[in-house]
Chain A
Amino acid sequence: MFRRPHQCRQLGGEFHHFLRLTTARPCLTQDNGFVSSAGYVHEEETHLIEQIRAKARELLESGRVSCVIGYEAATRGGTRPAFIYDPDGVDRLVWNRECYANLTTFLHDKKKPARRGEEVPNVAIMTKPCDSRAINLLLSEGQISRDKVYIIGLACGGMMAEGNLQAPCLRCNVRIPVLYDTLIGDPPDIDVTDDFEDLAELEGMSAEERLQFWLREFDRCIRCYACRQACPGCYCNVCEFDRDDSLWIGMQIELPQKYFFHTFRAMHLAGRCVECNECERVCPMDIPLSLLNRKLVKEVSELLGHRGGMTTDPVPFVTILADGEVSLI
């Protein structure tokens, strides 16, 4: 009755022999409880991380929060998201010029209790200025409640890639978070204006040239949905693109579907995009998604005077239902 696959067999002896020959040693990292060497840290920023760790420790020890979401050193340089539950774990936290990830997307995981019957957890989160706009977005859309999130705001001089400031950081004029509970660091004295220069080349193209530009970019897309999953504004329980009845789009991983996916997602983020650039950062194929989203940022900004997440005002074109619930048109 219970048919086992007849191919059941263990790894061959050859493999074990092979293993014995190796000089296998475990590498010690955060994940197995050992602390690895810290990532790349600017000298002037070392005192800031001590402030961050002290605040994190205080929040955990006092019971104000059960988890601190922050950055820790990654395995091969750079940083990665870290979730600290134990006050003694705060020494894992780092703050440097490679803290790219927008951590606010993980707040969606903290909207519900970890176990049935428990309370919604209180969390603290290390928040860069650009990422802080996502918190406003989530507040304006009723996704999180302000008292559940303690914002460790970080003044930011920009993130570096290969020795240079990243392109979005060069035009950024939001240098301290738009909201926070505590602010770490002094606002850097940087005066730039965002004149949407990055869009100039695309706007100079004819419609046909633009189409060809995007088709060539989307050709590389593999529909892995990393852009959608990393985006704090993409949190639908069941995305239109995941619906089994596929009302909007076929499931093919082919150019028409990829083109539709990206343009549809950009439309859904119009007025909501907080310009954190996560979608572009996580894209394994380097599709310049920020151009798509920033074009809509510009349009909404010029037409309606709204910039996603700068305040807790809802996007101009949402419907406020009678019971206060917010619904996108």
Chain B
Amino acid sequence: MMFMSHSSLTAWLDELAGERTLIAPRDVGRGHIHLRPVAGSSEITLEYDRPDLSAKEFLFPHTERLMQVEKRSDQVTLHDRFLEKGQVVFGLRPCDAHGLVALDALFRDREPADAHYTRRRQKTALVGIACPQMWESCFCTSLGGAPDDPTHLDVLLTAVEGGYAVQPVTNQGEALLASAAIEEVTDLSLPDIPRNEQVPVLAADQWPAHFDQEYWSRLGERCLSCKLCTFVCPTCRCFDLRDEPVASRTDLVLIERMRVWDACTAPNYRTIAGGHNSRPLKGQRIRNRYYCKFCYYPKDFGPLGCVGCGRCIDVCPVNIDIVEMLNTVYAMHQERDTVEAEAET
């Protein structure tokens, strides 16, 4: 097993920060930890559980400038804007990396590939730190993940006495570690992390039967229609697209075309030009969010649209709890099976 001491880690991170953009957990005030670009290891905090937001924003930024439009008299020139410098996201959790599987399937692997996401993905390395525990709202193990799952990372670090156990996962991870001071140790054992109770998740083709249940309108009744659950979600990817002016002179107008996170939970999300809104009710919108994750996404793109990070549970001001929802839908399904079995006999 490979081992990196605290001081080696610090030196390694400072070196990484020199050549690429280093993104790492940072205290942004009032105890909140966000993944943010940092100048060096001194700005990083290693005391955190789950960053407030997932790593999604560095592949699919909340505000992405797709291009700049330069307008001179009657001439227009478009300048594409792409990420140029490589970036390392350090300190993300395994579930955050798992979330990128869903984004990859949509933005990168489904034709036509999104150029901006694909470029960012190529230029990003992921150095995760295993969760020391499963926190109360975590249910990653119910969705194919684990607090110490290295699968979707380039390197996984696990906190051990005096430093970190190091697991390179990909070739990119190996290359990244080339400059790190790593020792080979034999007597290193990784902590055994207690698992939370499993949450039952119906298969994609079992969901449609429950689409018209009254449950959804009851669940939606307390929803505030804010965008919180979708913004903290590692896989939610709805966006809006708009032109915003940057500068305006008589001979030159600069405009940026940008895409910005949006949320299917917002009231006017579906309003079309004539004013028609095909999802005017809160229950319809919250249902869409969950069906997107567990039914549409796997059908259309392969992976599930949920990795069990539990963020939406923790932040929801009105206790719309995805685990409670999954349990309820499972119970409805069991009940349906029972009724059908009774009907047969």
Q: Do chains A and B touch in the complex (CB under 8 A)?
A: yes
Chain A residues in the interface with B (C-beta under 8 A): 5, 7-11, 15-16, 18-19, 22-29, 31-32, 74-76, 78, 80-83, 101, 105-106, 109, 216-217, 219-220, 222-226, 228-230, 238, 242, 246, 250-254, 281-282, 284-286
Q: When the two chains form the complex, which single residue of A11, A26, A83, A284 contacts B328, counting CB atoms closer than 8 Å?
A: A26
Q: How far is the CA of A222 from the CA of B28 in the complex (A)?
A: 13
Interfacial chain B residues near A16, Cβ < 8 Å = 203
Q: Is B331 in the interface zone, CB < 8 Å from A?
A: yes
Q: Is B321's CB under 8 angstroms from A230's CB?
A: no
| Cβ-closest 6 pairs across A and B | A24-B200, A282-B317, A22-B198, A80-B319, A26-B331, A229-B224
Query: Known interface pairs A11-B203, A230-B317. Does A224 touch B226 (Cβ–Cβ under 8 Å)?
Result: yes
Interfacial chain A residues near B231, Cβ < 8 Å = 222-224
Q: How far is the CA of A7 from the CA of B105 in the complex (A)?
A: 9
Q: When the two chains form the complex, which single residue of A8, A22, A238, A250 contacts B299, counting CB atoms closer than 8 Å?
A: A8
Query: Known interface pairs A7-B105, A19-B200, A253-B260. Does A27 touch B222 (Cβ–Cβ under 8 Å)?
Result: no
Q: Is B254 in the interface zone, CB < 8 Å from A?
A: no
Nearest B residue to A281, CB-CB: B317
Q: When the two chains form the complex, which single residue of A18, A252, A253, A284 contacts B52, counting CB atoms closer than 8 Å?
A: A284
| A203 vs chain B, min Cβ distance (A) | 20
Interfacial chain B residues near A7, Cβ < 8 Å = 105, 109-110, 300-302
Interfacial chain B residues near A26, Cβ < 8 Å = 200, 327-328, 330-331, 334
Q: Is A253's CB under 8 angstroms from B227's CB?
A: no
Q: How far is the CA of A237 from the CA of B330 in the complex (A)?
A: 36
Interfacial chain A residues near B200, Cβ < 8 Å = 19, 22, 24-26
Q: How far is the CA of A82 from the CA of B324 in the complex (A)?
A: 15
Nearest B residue to A81, CB-CB: B222
Contact with A along B56-70 (1 / 0, CB 8 A): 000000110000000
Q: Is B315 in the interface zone, CB < 8 Å from A?
A: yes
Q: How far is the CA of A19 from the CA of B260 in the complex (A)?
A: 36
Nearest B residue to A100, CB-CB: B317
Q: When the two chains form the complex, which single residue of B28, B260, B324 contacts A31, counting CB atoms closer than 8 Å?
A: B324
Among the 9-residue stretches B39-47, B125-133, B186-194, B213-221, the one with 4 or more Cβ atoms under 8 Å from chain A is B213-221
Q: Is A78's CB under 8 angstroms from B319's CB?
A: yes
Sample (22) of A-B pairs whose CB atoms are under 8 Å apart: A7-B301, A9-B299, A9-B302, A15-B144, A16-B203, A19-B201, A24-B200, A26-B327, A27-B323, A28-B331, A29-B324, A75-B323, A80-B222, A80-B318, A81-B318, A216-B29, A224-B263, A226-B224, A226-B226, A251-B242, A253-B63, A286-B32
Task: Give the interface centre of A242, A252, A286 by most chain B CB atoms within 10 Å.
Answer: A252
Q: Is A251's CB under 8 angstroms from B244's CB?
A: yes
Q: How far is the CA of A196 from the CA of B109 in the complex (A)?
A: 56
Nearest A residue to B240, CB-CB: A251
Nearest A residue to B201, CB-CB: A19
Q: Is B324's CB under 8 angstroms from A27's CB?
A: yes
SS class, residues of chain A in contact with chain B: loop
Interface residues on B, range: 35 or more
Q: How far is the CA of A22 from the CA of B232 in the complex (A)?
A: 27
Q: Is B304 in the interface zone, CB < 8 Å from A?
A: yes
Interfacial chain A residues near B53, Cβ < 8 Å = 222
Interfacial chain B residues near A101, Cβ < 8 Å = 317-318
Interfacial chain A residues near B221, Cβ < 8 Å = 81, 83, 106, 109
Q: Is B258's CB under 8 angstroms from A75's CB?
A: no
Q: How far is the CA of A225 from the CA of B34 in the complex (A)?
A: 19
Q: How far is the CA of A28 from the CA of B327 in the complex (A)?
A: 8
List B residues 195-219 near A (Cβ within 8 Å).
198-201, 203-205, 215, 218-219
Interfacial chain A residues near B32, Cβ < 8 Å = 220, 285-286
Query: Known interface pairs A242-B268, A246-B242. Does A5 touch B300 (Cβ–Cβ under 8 Å)?
Result: yes
| A39 vs chain B, min Cβ distance (A) | 11
Q: When the two chains form the complex, which single residue of B218, B300, B313 contacts A83, counting CB atoms closer than 8 Å?
A: B218
| A288 vs chain B, min Cβ distance (A) | 8
Q: How far is the CA of A72 from the CA of B144 in the complex (A)?
A: 33
Q: Is A29's CB under 8 angstroms from B110's CB?
A: no
Q: How far is the CA of A251 from the CA of B228 in the complex (A)?
A: 16
Interfacial chain B residues near A31, Cβ < 8 Å = 215, 218-219, 324-325, 328
Interfacial chain A residues near B198, Cβ < 8 Å = 22-24
Interfacial chain B residues near A8, Cβ < 8 Å = 299-300
Q: Is B249 in the interface zone, CB < 8 Å from A?
A: no
Query: Known interface pairs A18-B144, A27-B327, A251-B240. Does A10 touch B204 (Cβ–Cβ under 8 Å)?
Result: yes
| A2 vs chain B, min Cβ distance (A) | 14
Interfacial chain A residues near B137, Cβ < 8 Å = 76
Q: Is B327's CB under 8 angstroms from A254's CB?
A: no
Interfacial chain A residues near B110, Cβ < 8 Å = 5, 7
Q: Is B173 in the interface zone, CB < 8 Å from A?
A: no
List B residues 288-306 near A (Cβ within 8 Å).
298-302, 304
